[in-house]
């Protein structure tokens, strides 16, 4: 790892492939489709690991991300973000080249879309199953029916199904709470889908989020799952109990740049522009920005007494170093940081070093 001089994403291909295989097998076993979200890794190279596990359909969160993956041969891409009608040019560029799915979360987006769309696209209707981010409530069936009949006026718009994302599962305190969110959300999703299936046969119910897809094993009423974060997992998912520490497949490499014995603090070259400012509260209400790990050969391991990033500025990450590790960490060493939110760290850094082969991914 001598080639690593500044912060970079260090990924363990074996762990990633295991996470992908595990989720793909779960989807197959439970009879649901698998359309993983690629916003987490945003890497064509890592995308190929999914392809080799049999994945053919993917989810992304922007049209530029869709174009990036389309360029690597992905042919069925859903953009899981309320369609932005200022980007109809991008839709018209992409739609002829792939099977493109867009998301409707508000009927007000329809007129511009109807007018400017030049090629067929699939569309999904976004349901709000409790996260209150965006979408229709499951009981707004009149509004949904109206949206669908308006959309039906344009033969280029093909209604594909309903989409839900349990964003509120990220703010839970117990497995029981995650399970309740899953049960209630999938019931609402299944109910709406069943109701509109009479008029629109063949529509599907698509369900997202890593916590519920990791923790649940029966996806009754769901036709497709779209988790993304699980490819890497992260500190937040570990603290939600979505994964074990050993499932976490990515850390941020961070050079040690200074040690301050006066307060037993160590300064890493890994700040807000590498890790993001996302934080979690530990059980003692301590706010942390990542967990520090050390590299040992072709792997990394946490310290037996966990060590967390306590403070973060634009380029600096600072942690309190327990006395017993003080003499083991030197200026110039390379440590790892398990990010709180791997999607944001990956979005910031974009560059991957694969630890088993010891190479940078293309």
Interface residue list for a copy of itself (CB under 8 A): 4-6, 39, 61-64, 81-87, 89-90, 105-106, 108-109, 112, 128, 132-135, 137, 167, 255, 257-260, 262-263, 265, 267, 269, 272-273, 276-279, 311, 313-316, 318, 330-332, 334, 343-344, 347-348
Short-list 73, 80, 71, CA closest to 56: 73
User: Which of 27, 59, 346, 49 lies closest to 228, judged by CA?
Assistant: 59
Nearer to a copy of itself, 30 or 264 (CB): 264
* Residue among 33, 36, 89 nearest 64 (CA): 89
Helix 63-70 crosses helix 44-52 at what angle (to 10 degrees)?
60
Which residue, 24 or 272, has its beta carbon nearer to a copy of itself? 272
Task: Give the residue with the Cβ less far from a copy of itself, 62 or 97.
Answer: 62
Which of residues 180 and 311 has its CB atom nearest to a copy of itself in the complex? 311
Smallest distance, a copy of itself to C-beta of residue 131, A: 9
CA distance 292 to 314: 18
**Cβ of residue 357: shortest distance to a copy of itself, in angstroms?**
20
**Cβ of residue 157: shortest distance to a copy of itself, in angstroms?**
16
List, in order, residues 6 or more apart from 173 with CB less than 8 Å away. none
Gap between the terminal Cα atoms of the chain: 17
User: Tokens at residue 313, please?
Assistant: 């500025």
Minimum distance, C-beta of residue 221 to a copy of itself, in the bound complex (Å):
24
CB of 29 to a copy of itself, least distance (A): 29
Helix, strand, coil % (nearest 5) of the chain? 35, 30, 35
Q: Which is nearer to a copy of itself, 26 or 170 (CB)?
A: 170
């Amino acid at each position: 790892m001598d080639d690593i001089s500044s912060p970079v994403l260090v990924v363990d291909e074996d762990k990633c492939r295991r996470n992908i295989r595990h989720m793909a097998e779960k989807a197959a076993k439970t009879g649901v489709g698998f359309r993983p979200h690629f916003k987490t890794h945003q890497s064509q190279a890592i995308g190929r690991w999914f392809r080799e596990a049999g994945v053919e359909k993917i989810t992304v969160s922007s049209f530029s991300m869709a174009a990036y993956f389309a360029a690597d041969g992905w042919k069925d891409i859903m953009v899981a973000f309320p369609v932005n009608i200022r980007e109809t040019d991008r839709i018209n560029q992409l739609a002829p080249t792939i099977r493109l799915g867009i998301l409707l979360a508000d009927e007000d987006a329809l007129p511009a879309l109807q007018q400017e769309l030049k090629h067929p696209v699939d569309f999904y209707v976004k349901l709000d199953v409790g996260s209150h981010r965006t979408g229709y409530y499951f009981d707004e069936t009149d509004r949904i029916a109206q949206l669908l009949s308006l959309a039906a006026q344009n033969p280029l718009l093909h209604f594909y199904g309903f989409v839900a994302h349990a964003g509120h599962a990220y703010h839970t305190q117990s497995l029981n709470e995650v399970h309740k969110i899953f049960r209630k959300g999938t019931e609402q999703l299944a109910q709406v889908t069943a109701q509109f299936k009479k008029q629109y046969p063949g529509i599907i119910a698509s369900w997202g989020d890593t916590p519920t897809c990791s923790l649940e094993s029966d996806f009754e009423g769901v036709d497709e799952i779209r988790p993304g974060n699980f490819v890497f997992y992260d500190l937040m998912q570990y603290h939600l109990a979505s994964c074990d520490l050993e499932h976490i497949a990515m850390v941020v490499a961070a050079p040690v740049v200074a040690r301050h014995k006066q307060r037993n603090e160590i300064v890493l070259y890994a700040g807000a522009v590498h890790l993001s400012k996302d934080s979690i509260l530990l059980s003692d209400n301590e706010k942390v920005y990542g967990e520090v790990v050390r590299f040992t050969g072709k792997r990394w391991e946490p310290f037996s007494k966990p060590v967390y990033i306590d403070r973060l500025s634009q380029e600096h990450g600072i942690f309190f170093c327990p006395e017993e590790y003080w003499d083991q960490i030197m200026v110039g060493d390379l440590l790892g940081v398990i990010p709180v939110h791997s999607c944001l760290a990956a979005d910031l850094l974009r560059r991957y070093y694969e630890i088993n082969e010891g190479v940078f991914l293309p």
